[in-house]
Structure 1
């Protein structure tokens, strides 16, 4: 079963998807891009924040370049380099829907931390999105908020806990499902899914199943994943 099916999303319907939250966004974005391309679709990978460029994908700096590159390549990155060598958005992602079948957007940053609660200006989800995926890394469970979370003060406020509090599966479910957490700025018409990543041992898989059950009680579909070293960041896919 592919990543689209595991997330209960359909690239023919959910053509524009934003990824938010912590560990797993980039790897999942490229896995989704690969599967969509393998099904004969053209795909744009872009950001409304910042991403590292994928070394195996062509880069378009504007919509005209994007249109030309999509004639020859099934997956193209759209972005412009900033002073740090990262990519920022180079056009309104909604405009890409006229050029490609699928648009995938990294719409949040977590500084490589597995769990976060967003600041006031985060995430940056285009209003035209059809779906949002909120991600968390299962390696956060059992570790303190201060040690493992991005924007730990926001996590503390959301959970009503202090920095020394050890993250539980219930905490992860609470953060992902909260309108102050993973569900922040998700429109009513957008499908909402959760991704529980880094399930690479028995303990983490058990935590993932516990979180998935808690989310299911709220009517939220989630997928449990892990990526091998060579799959992380989609490096082996393109």
Structure 2
């Protein structure tokens, strides 16, 4: 079973999909891009925030160049470099659907932290999105908010806890399901899924199962994932 099926999404239906949260966005985005490519689909990978470019994918900052690049390579990154050497968006992701079968958007940043609550300006989800995936790394469980979370002050406010509070599975479920957390800016027509990543051992998988049950009680579908060192960031996929 591929990552699309695991998430309960269909690349031919959920053509414009955004990824938010922390702990697994890039790895999942590239796994989705690879599977879509293997299905014969043309894929644009882009961002509405900032991402590191994939070293093996062709890159363009000109949406007009996409048709020729997609015809040759099938998966193309759309973005332009900023002063820090990261990519920012180039053009409206929704318009990319005129030339691509699937558009995958990293729509949030977490500075490599596994859990976050968004700031006022985050995430940047295009209103035309068909689906949103909110991710969290299971390695956050048992760690203090101030140590493990991105925007810890937002996490504390959302949960009503102090900075030294240690994250529980219930906390992760609360953050992912909250309209002030993982569900922020997700429209009613958008499919919403949660990704519980970094199930590296039996304990973390058990935490994942507990979070999955809590989310299911709210009618939210989620999946537990793990990426090997080679798979992280999608480096071995292209």
Q: What is the TM-score when the length of structure 1 is the normalising length? A: 0.99
Q: Does 1:139 align with 2:139?
A: yes
Structure 1 residue 38: deviation in Å? 0.2
Measured in 1, the distance between the counterparts of 2:109 and 2:66 equals: 24
Q: Does 1:39 align with 2:21?
A: no
Detail structure 1 runs of 4+ shifted over 6 Å in the superposition.
none
Q: Does 1:101 align with 2:93?
A: no
Measured in 2, the distance between the counterparts of 1:51 and 1:170 equals: 29
Measured in 2, the distance between the counterparts of 1:62 and 1:68 equals: 11
Correspondence for 1:164: 164
Correspondence for 2:84: 84
Measured in 1, the distance between the counterparts of 2:117 and 2:173 equals: 12
Correspondence for 2:187: 187
**1:30 is paired with a residue of what secondary structure?**
helix
Deviations 1:16-45 (A, max 9, x none): 000000110000000000000000000000
Structure 1 residue 67: deviation in Å? 1.7
Structure 1 residue 60: deviation in Å? 1.3
Write out aligned runs for 1:26-65 (5 A): 26-65=26-65
Q: Does 1:153 align with 2:153?
A: yes
Deviations 1:116-139 (A, max 9, x none): 000000000000000000000000
Measured in 2, the distance between the counterparts of 1:12 and 1:142 equals: 39
Structure 1 residue 65: deviation in Å? 1.3
Measured in 2, the distance between the counterparts of 1:234 and 1:118 equals: 25
Question: Which ranges of structure 1 fall in alignment gaps of 5 or more residues?
Answer: none
The count of residues paired between Structure 1 and Structure 2 equals 238
**1:72 is paired with a residue of what secondary structure?**
helix
Structure 1 residue 66: deviation in Å? 1.4
**1:71 is paired with a residue of what secondary structure?**
helix
Correspondence for 2:219: 219
Structure 1 residue 113: deviation in Å? 0.1
**2:72 is paired with a residue of what secondary structure?**
coil
Write out aligned runs for 1:68-79 (5 A): 68-79=68-79
Correspondence for 2:207: 207
**2:73 is paired with a residue of what secondary structure?**
coil
Write out aligned runs for 1:173-184 (5 A): 173-184=173-184
Deviations 1:94-147 (A, max 9, x none): 000001000000000000000000000000000000000000000000000000
Measured in 2, the distance between the counterparts of 1:157 and 1:49 equals: 24
Correspondence for 2:11: 11
